[in-house]
């Protein structure tokens, strides 16, 4: 992880919906090659923040810089070039129901005019394989997939253009414990093998333990604290303490410390 220069830099972010203030003076840095987990109580604007970074929603004030580009003021061509350098996976994959998995994964590739149909299909099949889906999954429609398979297909689409950054919104929500653990391992493995920077919104303590290099806690309308899982244990803010010391946190810690099936830590 390179901590000398943030790959994502947020400064003074204010987010308001009428009189309701979600973020106020929020600052955050994300470093190249890290998996950052963003957590917070209900209504703290975790997913809102993700949508602001990728330009789907505009904050009321502040600056958002990604890969050296100001997201809020970029010209259209600069903006399109930037979007090709990140991938986004929303909850449950957010796949197009009328397209099969291969066609869903091809959607971002269609902006590249030099890619012919056969090449797009071959690359899509490669991405489908990378996320651990069976060889015939490309021909299936979202309605024919389990929840875990839809999430993997959504991740394959996020990886379509070989991005430098991947944004994941509650990637393990709705999965059973075994499926969630498998997805955690997939995210961690892909991040390391592909050199990805991952911005991960989650409430899942097991995911934080299994995948994240750092954690950012949203509370009191800002990023209250950032640090490693170990550093979170020493934060005395009431919500942070309860979240990282409660029964679920203790269970997640025990699970993370337990040996795997091969008897290895």
Residue 32 inside a domain? The answer is yes
The per-residue pLDDT for 251 is: 55
Burial of 248 (0-12, 13-18, 19+ CB in 10 A): middle
User: Residue 16 sits in a domain of what CATH number?
Assistant: 3.40.50.300
Taking only the tens place, the pLDDT of each residue in 196-247 is: 999 999 989 999 999 999 999 999 999 999 999 999 989 999 999 999 986 6
Flag whether 55 is in a domain.
yes
Global pTM?
0.90
Amino acid 93: pLDDT: 65
pLDDT of residue 254: 55
Task: With a cut of 70, list the residues of the chain below it in pLDDT.
Answer: 1-3, 92-93, 246-265
pLDDT on residue 261: 39
Q: Is residue 70 part of a domain?
A: yes
pLDDT of residue 262: 41
Does 34 fall in a domain?
yes
Task: Return the pLDDT at 265.
Answer: 43
In this prediction, residue 167 carries a pLDDT of: 98
pLDDT reported for residue 6? 94
If one counts the domains in the chain, the total is 1
14 belongs to a structural domain: yes
Domain range enclosing 55? 1-85+165-172+188-209+216-256
- Residue 150 forms part of a structural domain: no
């Amino acid at each position: 992880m390179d901590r000398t220069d943030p790959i994502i830099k947020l400064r003074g972010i204010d987010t308001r919906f009428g009189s309701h203030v979600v973020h106020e003076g929020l600052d955050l840095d994300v470093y190249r090659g890290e998996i950052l987990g963003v957590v917070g109580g209900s209504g703290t604007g975790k997913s809102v923040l993700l949508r602001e970074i990728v330009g789907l929603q505009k904050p009321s004030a502040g600056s958002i810089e990604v890969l050296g580009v100001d997201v809020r003021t970029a010209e259209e061509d600069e903006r399109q070039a930037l979007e090709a350098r990140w991938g986004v996976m929303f909850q449950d994959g957010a796949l197009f129901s009328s397209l099969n998995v291969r066609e869903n994964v091809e959607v971002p590739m269609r902006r590249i005019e030099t890619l012919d149909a056969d090449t797009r299909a071959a690359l899509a099949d490669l991405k489908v394989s990378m996320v651990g889906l069976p060889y015939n999954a490309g021909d299936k429609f979202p309605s024919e997939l389990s929840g875990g398979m839809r999430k993997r297909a959504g991740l394959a689409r996020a990886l379509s253009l070989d991005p430098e950054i991947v944004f994941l919104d509650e990637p393990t929500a709705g999965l059973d414990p075994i499926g969630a653990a498998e997805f955690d391992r997939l995210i961690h493995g892909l991040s390391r093998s592909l050199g990805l920077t991952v911005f991960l919104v989650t409430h899942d303590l097991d995911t934080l333990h299994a995948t994240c290099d750092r954690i950012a806690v949203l509370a009191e309308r800002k990023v209250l604290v950032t640090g490693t899982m170990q550093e979170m244990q020493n934060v005395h803010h009431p919500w942070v303490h309860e979240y990282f010391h409660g029964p679920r946190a203790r269970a997640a810690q025990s699970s993370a410390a337990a040996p795997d099936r091969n008897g290895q830590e």
